[in-house]
């Protein structure tokens, strides 16, 4: 099934924004103590963002 694009083809992100988002993602992965509820909320949000449907 083909999904409708949310961002126009050929659109690129500002390099500074990409680096900042990468830094946030990397520091989040390094967290050792995140409660199960927060973990599930983040998992569900990421699944929605990536259209995973899980």
**Contact in structure between 51 and 5 (CB atoms under 8 Å):** no
Other beta carbons within 10 angstroms of residue 31's beta carbon come to 9
Angle at 47 between CA 11 and CA 15, to 5 degrees: 30
Give the per-residue pLDDT at 15. 92
Distance CA 51, CA 1 (A): 12
pTM over 0.85: no
Per residue in 27-49, pLDDT tens?
A: 877 888 888 888 888 888 878 77
């Amino acid at each position: 099934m083909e999904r409708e694009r949310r961002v126009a083809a050929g659109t690129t992100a500002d390099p500074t924004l990409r680096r900042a988002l990468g830094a946030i993602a990397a520091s989040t992965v390094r967290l050792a103590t995140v409660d199960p509820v927060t973990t599930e909320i983040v998992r569900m949000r990421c699944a929605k963002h990536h259209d995973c449907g899980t």
